[in-house]
Structure 1
Amino acid sequence: MILRTLFTAAALGAALSASALAPPAQARTAPPAQAAAPLIAVEQYELANGLRVVFHIDRSDPVVAVVLAAHVGSAREEPGRTGFAHLFEHLFFLDSENLGPGGLDRMSARIGGSGANGSTSRDLTDYLQTVPNDALEQMIWAEADKLGYFINTVTDAVLAKEKEVVKNEKRQSVDNQPYGHTEPVISAALYPEDHPYSWSVIGSLADLNAATLEDVQTFYHRWYTPDNATLVIAGDFDPAQARVWIEKYFGEIPRGEDDPEPQVRPAVLSADVRLMHEDNFAQLPELTMVWPTVDRIHPDAAALNMLLVLLTDGKESPLTSVLVDERRLTAEVQAFQYSSQIAGEAYLSVRAFDGVDLDTVQTALDEGFARFESRGVDVEALDRAKTLAESRFYGALDSALGKAAALARYDLFAGRADYADVELARLRAVTAGDVMRVYRQYIADRPHVATSFVPKGQAELALAGSAVAAVVEEPIIPGAEAPIDQRAGDVGYARTPSSFDRTVEPPSGPTPVVTPPVVWNAALPNGLQVSGIRSAEVPLAYFDLSIEGGRLFDDPDQPGAANLLARIFDRGTARRTPAELENAFKALGAQVTVSVGDERFLISGRTLDRNLAPTLALVEEMLLEPRWDETELTLAKAAVTAQIQDARSQPAALAARIMDLTAYGADHILSRSVLGTERSVAALTMDDLRRFQSVILAPGLAHFRIVSPSDQTAVTAALASLGERWAARDAVVPTFPEPSAPTTSRVYFYDVPNASQSVLMFGYPALRRGDPDFYPATVMNYRLGGGGFASRLTQQLREGQGYTYGVRSGFNGGERFGTFNLSSAVRTNVTLEAFELARKIVAEYGDTFTAEDLEVTRSAMSRSRARAFETARAKLGVLQALGEIGLPADYLTREAAVIDDMTVEQVRALAERWLRPEAMIYVVVGDAATQAERLQALGYGPPVMMNEALAEADR
């Protein structure tokens, strides 16, 4: 399900660490662009009313991405009126004057769009969607309605309901998450009260509750105007025709009042600030340190990004080497630069192992910084970091939407959409001297904010001298929110005048021609199967080496070997130390990860295509010449143990564990955690892993798939050595019985005291991916819970009642096993009500499914095929379905026919067969003291309390 996205500091930091494209930036004169051909060619102009328009042509797929970016985020709010920009991100997806009820969400399903999405940051709110290119005029019409013909549809009832949705989002992302309050605590400590970055993007519950309709209308009229927005269209379209449509639909919207551009205002600290919080969910202590730095387009931003990479990324980085390898205090040190329009921060975060005193972590960090100061910047390490950053930079441009989102942010924050070339040039130009200079200027011995988030009852682990942070935790009060009357919003409203009838939806253009990607296949002498798709949209190669079996090879009595093997597999080779292997990949611009799933052991990678052959040579060395480093095994076991402990703090992860435990039964390997247990991980030895590796890594069980600008000849040549050296041998994947679906329903409850939300998970063992009913059942589920905002579950639980931020349902099928699953996090005090409503929707779905529902399903799923193969990962998905699941070569054509031929009667029959509300496993993770007894009203008896059972299973 697509959820409206809130950009928190952590989310932005992850984006910044992955790509130089992440927002935000400074709206002032930027350096001149390079004379070379632009990285993302653009055409840009401005309407008379001030709307900035950016075009980028990309003919690779018959799709267009449309982004409307409003130059407004939380920084345009005022104290006491916070959270408005994020609230509008939500409101804009509801009704508008001319689209009618359901607004953009309803239209998106009808035209085969990706699902309207949006994000809010400190300085920007953007609305994003990819659609088949025949729907471009409809999207322009809809986006114009959002900007100029919307506010009259917002009534008191609409506002009241959407407040509940936003509050549920805050509960889900902040209140009910371990460490969720870290960013708000830091922002309040780092900036003075009158600074627009001193409050969080999502705002406070008190401010949301106090917001009136007049407040909302005033905010809209000030900030959501053409002269304060940028429209970006990227993809396969006619720019001349698009200009005509944009002028027609946007041209008569009046411009707003002129507001001054925000001025740079960095945070200023006179002394260190130390704060601590006993976190209701956290299982491990976490130290976060934040220093004031620079705004988004400041010349020092690129050097700061490289500094944080060099400090923490890799075995040879000083902070990681001290804290992870030498002191063994944590599994990872994270750092990222969070630069916004008028200020920025450098974040450093350490989630320590169980029971570690954060003063000890601070001492180790000081040692790491001292090592960096004494050794200086390794020029080769900097070159590797820059090469990898360039690869990530290109990776963010893999889709039309990725390009469109980047262009909108560049235009807003840098004042020019073609800023990508400047940013990439700045990255390439960073020197060792630049890195050391910004370290001394912004980090070394500079005042900072340090937060210690520790488990409840473990205040002694916090940094010495820490004051208690001001954290507002919402009490659980039954009936605190008044019921929402959905009919209250069905009132008339005055239409905004227009020169033409905007209620008439524009027609679709010519139907796009969808051409499935051309797949090539080969087999190497050792039996390794190879398949590929040639794609030259970006200069990157994406690949997977998938080996059948995965954790099915695990011993149910000693689980976790497959995951532990994956954890150490890329930690050096017989010829290279872990650091040497890591550096070799970085020098090629390659990222390679090893993971294990229910049915596959997976080596996945992305590299600059020009370096494909040497990258695959390193993968071959890693696969055939393991290092079997005892030190790395010790480190990996400590890291996995911390993961196991940390998973106990995640309500959604707890729900999934209970579902597996009850669905598969005690003797099935899939009833175990993929991580294993603390006891089983501690018991595993290197000899165990050697034996495990010798059993599972057989070329006859493997499939290599690749999406790359390189052709079949180049790829198979790069794999030739692997085909010769990796010896063929017999290997058989262990078999486990298919679990039986339940015949009656039971409720299983896991108690998280004082939880502000309850996680609901309904499910049972169901269809495998290759079962004849799997895809028809997927089509059937679209209107139930697979169609995002077009689904009944979302429309009723979220949009109708405000119970949740998001809900979805779907069939998840592998080669051997499959499940049906419905999941949602709902506010605690409506746990029973939300449960009953979700169950009722499922129970009545087949009988109430209509011809209109079928038409929406058919239109959405058929027209969305234009987007089905756009990204490299989507193309890899096609290769996976063919090579792993064993679907026929024409499965895409067959599935298109399933959609076209589906009838209402078939949907009803599928619902009767595969939706089983009275034979379902129901899991609830929440506050038992207030909610467990209430659930007896469901009629399934007292809930089965699972805390002890899960603890025993994972012991």
Structure 2
Amino acid sequence: MKIITQKMKTTKSFFLIFILIAVSSAFSQEKTENFSVDFETFNLENGLKVILHQDMSDPVVAVALTAHVGSAREKEGRTGFAHLFEHLLFLESENLGKGGLDKLSARIGGSGANGSTSRDRTNYFQTVPNDALEKMIWAEADKLGFFINTVTEPVLAKEKQVVKNEKRQGVDNRPYGHTFYVVDRNLYPEDHPYNWQVIGSLEDLQNATLQDVKDFYNKWYVPNNVILTISGNFDKEQAKEWVHKYFDEIERGPEMLELEKQLVTLSESKRVYHEDNFAQLPELTLTWPSVYSYHPDSFALEILSNYLADGKNAPLYKNLVKSKKLTGNVSMFNYTSELAGQLMLQVRAYDGKDLDSVKTAIDKTFTEFEKNRIPQKDLKRIKAGLETNFYNSISSVLGKGFQLAQYEIYAKDPNFINKEVDKMLAVTTEDVMKVYKKYVKDKNYIATSFVPKDQLELSLENSKKAEVVEEKIVEGAEEKFDSNQQVTYNKTPSNFDRTIEPPYQGKPELNIPEIWDARMPSGMKVMGITNTEVPVVQFSLEMKGGQLLENPAQAGVSNMLASMMTKGTAKKTPAELEEAIELLGASIYVNSNEEKITISGNTLAKNYTKTMALVQEILLEPRWDEEEFKLIKQQNLSRLQEEQGDPNAIAQNEFKKLIYGANSILSYNELGTPETVKSLSIADLKNYYEENLSPLASTFMAVGAVEKTEAVNSVKAISANWAPKNISFPEIPEFELPEKSKVYFYDVPGAKQSVLAFGAPGLSAKNDNYYPAEVMNYRLGGGGFASKLTQELREGKGYTYGIRSRFMDRSYVGPFMITSGVRTNITYEATELVRNIVKDYSTSFDQEDLDVTKSYMIKSNARRFETLGAKLNMLREINDYGYEKDYIKTREASVEKISVLDIQDLAKQYINPEKMYYLIVGDAETQLEKLEELGYGKPVLLNKNTEE
């Protein structure tokens, strides 16, 4: 479940995959020929709007229910209701019973019932095999018309705790988490519906009564305020019959009054500061009042923010990053919603940099922009990139279907999906300059300075202290509730028996994509899948090595090499290379991880050959730019410093040390250490490049609108000019389980949550037991709301927003991990409960658990290959772990045969709570001592407070 409040580079407040659809519909200089999204709409008599979109390419269908209500429809003192409601609607309904959609999703192989809330709308969605469409329509109707009676006092009390944990995790316990709260409180007047945050305040959530909740539901959750979207492989006429059957009798609500647009103006600029308990670096955020979604100026504002801040050709990058060396990154985005918007510029400066110097550099950049304006070439480049983003975004039925609902709510016209392209293409350089003068030049703004503790001198001059409500850690502060309390309620009458779950309709055909492969003369492998659904190609050149080929004295060298490879070529400066990529509407990334360095990207099919020519330059003709090397070094040092204040990053880094031991390179942060990063030279990068990259240990993979011949031809020059060499890979030891469990604690004073990372060495993804172990883990913690850990810690106790367990897939022995963030004052109780659930799992797993597991594991395969990214990942697994091309079918057969005893044996073998590392990152002063009661001895404090 998501809250849409964070910064987004977009013209809409919607989660990113869908935003990209809205803001980037084919923005090349020429509109894509004959492109359109077909759909059909109709209304029920009760006002429900239904949008149908057919996409017959995969045996899946996405169903979404979108309510035109978000935090903007709340009132002061009762904030957070829209988001709280998003949570409640998943828990139970009269005819689905307790567990509602979550239990249904597990049985039918769905993607998992999920939702998101923004300022203006709340949506509920999931993708399922198309044989379950009637079941989903039945379930969505039950939520809309047969739900509210199931919300009782214990249900509300528990879900309040879950939502408060979400706020702690996403806002209170992370660096810069309060930024949007501070910005919005100062940008919008007190009576403006965007003055408060989507998630609300902890106090308001706690004060919510059962009657408040019911009143909210009865006002907003009515058919005439809701859109039902069905997108995918289905029969339209049959779907219409089911929609009428399940939704027709739900009563219409009162007429909805449209909220008027409420653009804001500032009578003066405001400067505020906040000392951030978790921030390690100072951050400046400038916010100007902007426009609502689809306002005529929104398109030019999107291009303005893109031009000013994105990439090496951006004026802000050139000035703040390259020239002044104040920061490693600048971000600017136009965050718009239904009623108003805000143009935001963020700079996280390097350690010790005064934010006044950052502001001065920004002002200078704006002055230069006023003189130079935006060149026509840059306008073309930006539009080309947005075109590719659009096609990537609509490669899923959920992306296509849900965007239609977005247009219906914000533009009052779902067909805007076929119109918006022209509006963006019509933007001129004059339009960009006009919106700059209208919204930025000499306009009042909100400036927020978020600085580390005791570094107030870094904030902007004349800043006032921001109002931020910080939660105090109090033992036993949360109200008690009994999640198992039996409560009776009156059922809503219906003209047929809704307790009968609809049957499956047919059986989805599992269409495993046809894989082609080849071997180049250099020894490089080529693999691919041709799919012409969208005119895009995704590719990945994967070279074995990465961190595994480093030595501890040069930890981080492969990561730094990967960063350097896109910083120009022998023929092109860094800026020229970036421009050449973007003019093609392409993206090219180079990344390093534990086992490989990867050059990956995506491009319009028509530009695939030209894009691959750039890949060849990047790989075979590196630039070794001294200035870029110094910049990357500073950026990595800054990132390492940032991680010191992020409890989740701390947990990840410390857990690796416990699992792999101090002598293994795998125990190091992939960025390296401050000492190794400072000591690295370009010569070290060159040595790694020359000694460890070879076509003999490389595979090129391509999926999308590309044939085998074209893909092979695209890498012929790479193969011919890349000298093969044998690479010696180190022997990786079989990491051993600890002899007995031990608790390790990393102190983050004042932490609002404790981050848990429990586990031990597991098994390699090449091991025959790896997939059976994943099957075994589904009901423990791999199945989301179908898992015991979630049901006990979140649904049963309200301890956490989320918890999961998983086996990490590696070619060597990877770890088994259980991770979660829990509220601070129940750290011991949560740890003990997790330990006990794991301890009992090998004996408590029963036939019902097996039935749910089998149903999910088999039925979910229908969704497995829908997107290009999913297809690419299948090739990656085949290549990395030696799986057969039809391994999905082999796995289905193994799941069919697996028994309860098999699962219990696997649990005993691979998850032993008495031989685990229990790592906790939290507030030691209040939580450390009690953990000794677990019986694993005195907890080991991994860091010492410098004041002790």
Name the TM tier (shorter chain): over 0.9
- Paired amino acid for 1:480: A
Q: Hey, what does 2:659 align to over in structure 1?
A: 663
Residue deviations 1:161-208 (CA, integer Å, cap 9, x gap): 000000000000000010000001111100001100000000001111
1:35 CA displacement? 13
Q: Hey, what's the Cα distance between the residues in 1 that align with 2:434 and 2:193?
A: 29
- Kindly indicate whether the alpha-carbon contact (under 8 Å) linking 2:11 and 2:336 is maintained by their aligned counterparts in 1: no
Q: Hey, what does 2:342 align to over in structure 1?
A: 345
- Kindly indicate whether the alpha-carbon contact (under 8 Å) linking 1:65 and 1:129 is maintained by their aligned counterparts in 2: yes
1:733 CA displacement? 2.2
- Kindly indicate whether the alpha-carbon contact (under 8 Å) linking 2:547 and 2:594 is maintained by their aligned counterparts in 1: yes
Residue deviations 1:319-340 (CA, integer Å, cap 9, x gap): 0000000011111000111110
1:10 CA displacement? 1.8
Residue deviations 1:467-515 (CA, integer Å, cap 9, x gap): 1110001000000013331222x21111111111111111111011111
Any idea what SS the aligned residue of 2:513 has? Answer: coil
The structure 1 residue matched to 2:95, chosen from 90, 94, 98, is 98
Indicate whether 1:482 and 2:489 are aligned.
Answer: no
Q: Hey, what does 2:924 align to over in structure 1?
A: 928
Indicate whether 1:72 and 2:69 are aligned.
Answer: yes
The structure 2 residue matched to 1:613, chosen from 598, 609, 626, is 609
Indicate whether 1:208 and 2:201 are aligned.
Answer: no
Q: Hey, what does 2:821 align to over in structure 1?
A: 825
- Kindly indicate whether the alpha-carbon contact (under 8 Å) linking 2:21 and 2:393 is maintained by their aligned counterparts in 1: no
Any idea what SS the aligned residue of 1:910 has? Answer: helix
1:14 CA displacement? 10
Q: Hey, what's the Cα distance between the residues in 2 that align with 1:902 and 1:779?
A: 9
- Kindly indicate whether the alpha-carbon contact (under 8 Å) linking 2:13 and 2:337 is maintained by their aligned counterparts in 1: no
Q: How does 1:136-147 map to 2 (within 5 A)?
A: 136-147=133-144
- Kindly indicate whether the alpha-carbon contact (under 8 Å) linking 1:24 and 1:340 is maintained by their aligned counterparts in 2: no
- Change over 3 Å in CA distance of 1:599–1:591 after alignment to 2: same
- Change over 3 Å in CA distance of 1:20–1:263 after alignment to 2: farther
Q: Hey, what does 1:645 align to over in structure 2?
A: 641
Q: How does 1:699-718 map to 2 (within 5 A)?
A: 699-718=695-714
Indicate whether 1:586 and 2:587 are aligned.
Answer: no
Indicate whether 1:336 and 2:339 are aligned.
Answer: no
- Change over 3 Å in CA distance of 1:35–1:871 after alignment to 2: closer
The structure 2 residue matched to 1:156, chosen from 141, 153, 158, is 153
Q: Hey, what does 2:520 align to over in structure 1?
A: 524
Q: Hey, what does 1:879 align to over in structure 2?
A: 875
TM-score by length of 1: 0.97
Residue deviations 1:674-715 (CA, integer Å, cap 9, x gap): 001111111111111110110121111111111121110111
Q: Hey, what does 1:114 align to over in structure 2?
A: 111
Indicate whether 1:766 and 2:762 are aligned.
Answer: yes
Q: Hey, what does 2:509 align to over in structure 1?
A: 513
- Paired amino acid for 1:309: N
Q: Hey, what's the Cα distance between the residues in 1 that align with 2:583 and 2:813?
A: 40
Q: How does 1:178-577 map to 2 (within 5 A)?
A: 178-488=175-485, 490-577=486-573
Q: Hey, what does 1:29 align to over in structure 2?
A: none
The structure 1 residue matched to 2:844, chosen from 820, 826, 848, is 848
Q: Hey, what's the Cα distance between the residues in 1 that align with 2:273 and 2:640?
A: 24
- Kindly indicate whether the alpha-carbon contact (under 8 Å) linking 2:11 and 2:293 is maintained by their aligned counterparts in 1: no
Q: Hey, what does 2:27 align to over in structure 1?
A: none
- Paired amino acid for 1:785: G
- Change over 3 Å in CA distance of 1:756–1:748 after alignment to 2: same
- Kindly indicate whether the alpha-carbon contact (under 8 Å) linking 1:483 and 1:801 is maintained by their aligned counterparts in 2: no
Q: Hey, what's the Cα distance between the residues in 2 that align with 1:665 and 1:13?
A: 43
Q: Hey, what's the Cα distance between the residues in 2 that align with 1:279 and 1:68?
A: 38
- Change over 3 Å in CA distance of 1:86–1:19 after alignment to 2: closer
Q: Hey, what's the Cα distance between the residues in 2 that align with 1:318 and 1:652?
A: 33
Any idea what SS the aligned residue of 1:626 has? Answer: coil
- Change over 3 Å in CA distance of 1:233–1:305 after alignment to 2: same
Q: Hey, what does 2:172 align to over in structure 1?
A: 175
- Kindly indicate whether the alpha-carbon contact (under 8 Å) linking 2:313 and 2:579 is maintained by their aligned counterparts in 1: no
- Paired amino acid for 2:891: E
Residue deviations 1:439-469 (CA, integer Å, cap 9, x gap): 1111111111110000011111101111111
Q: Hey, what's the Cα distance between the residues in 1 that align with 2:399 and 2:819?
A: 28
Q: Hey, what's the Cα distance between the residues in 2 that align with 1:720 and 1:891?
A: 29
Q: Hey, what's the Cα distance between the residues in 1 that align with 2:421 and 2:834?
A: 48
1:730 CA displacement? 2.0
TM-score by length of 2: 0.97
User: Which consecutive unaligned segments of at least 5 residues does structure 2 have?
Assistant: 24-30
Any idea what SS the aligned residue of 1:9 has? Answer: coil
Q: Hey, what's the Cα distance between the residues in 2 that align with 1:384 and 1:35?
A: 16
Q: Hey, what does 2:595 align to over in structure 1?
A: 599
Q: Hey, what's the Cα distance between the residues in 2 that align with 1:748 and 1:428?
A: 57
- Kindly indicate whether the alpha-carbon contact (under 8 Å) linking 2:11 and 2:302 is maintained by their aligned counterparts in 1: no
1:39 CA displacement? 2.2
Residue deviations 1:805-837 (CA, integer Å, cap 9, x gap): 000001112112311000000000000001111
Q: Hey, what's the Cα distance between the residues in 1 that align with 2:886 and 2:43?
A: 46
- Change over 3 Å in CA distance of 1:21–1:762 after alignment to 2: closer
Residue deviations 1:97-132 (CA, integer Å, cap 9, x gap): 000110011101011100001000000100010000
Q: Hey, what's the Cα distance between the residues in 1 that align with 2:316 and 2:33?
A: 38
- Kindly indicate whether the alpha-carbon contact (under 8 Å) linking 1:24 and 1:123 is maintained by their aligned counterparts in 2: no
Q: Hey, what does 2:26 align to over in structure 1?
A: none
- Paired amino acid for 1:167: K
Any idea what SS the aligned residue of 1:923 has? Answer: strand
- Change over 3 Å in CA distance of 1:153–1:194 after alignment to 2: same
Q: Hey, what's the Cα distance between the residues in 2 that align with 1:813 and 1:19?
A: 27
1:347 CA displacement? 1.0
- Paired amino acid for 1:120: T
- Kindly indicate whether the alpha-carbon contact (under 8 Å) linking 1:172 and 1:825 is maintained by their aligned counterparts in 2: yes
Q: Hey, what does 2:126 align to over in structure 1?
A: 129
Q: Hey, what's the Cα distance between the residues in 2 that align with 1:664 and 1:64?
A: 43
Q: Hey, what's the Cα distance between the residues in 1 that align with 2:548 and 2:36?
A: 45
1:418 CA displacement? 1.9
1:416 CA displacement? 1.6
Any idea what SS the aligned residue of 1:526 has? Answer: coil
The structure 1 residue matched to 2:812, chosen from 797, 802, 816, is 816
Q: Hey, what's the Cα distance between the residues in 2 that align with 1:19 and 1:762?
A: 31
Q: Hey, what's the Cα distance between the residues in 2 that align with 1:890 and 1:228?
A: 46
Q: Hey, what's the Cα distance between the residues in 2 that align with 1:438 and 1:932?
A: 54
Q: Hey, what does 1:30 align to over in structure 2?
A: none
- Change over 3 Å in CA distance of 1:58–1:36 after alignment to 2: same
Any idea what SS the aligned residue of 2:257 has? Answer: coil
- Change over 3 Å in CA distance of 1:588–1:19 after alignment to 2: farther
Any idea what SS the aligned residue of 1:196 has? Answer: coil
- Paired amino acid for 2:940: V
Q: Hey, what's the Cα distance between the residues in 1 that align with 2:629 and 2:224?
A: 58
- Paired amino acid for 1:196: P
1:734 CA displacement? 2.7
Q: Hey, what's the Cα distance between the residues in 1 that align with 2:410 and 2:21?
A: 6
Q: Hey, what does 1:682 align to over in structure 2?
A: 678
Q: Hey, what's the Cα distance between the residues in 1 that align with 2:509 and 2:17?
A: 34
User: Which consecutive unaligned segments of at least 5 residues does structure 1 have?
Assistant: 27-33
Q: Hey, what does 2:798 align to over in structure 1?
A: 802
Q: Hey, what does 1:905 align to over in structure 2?
A: 901
Q: Hey, what's the Cα distance between the residues in 2 that align with 1:296 and 1:278?
A: 33
Provide the identity percentage: 50
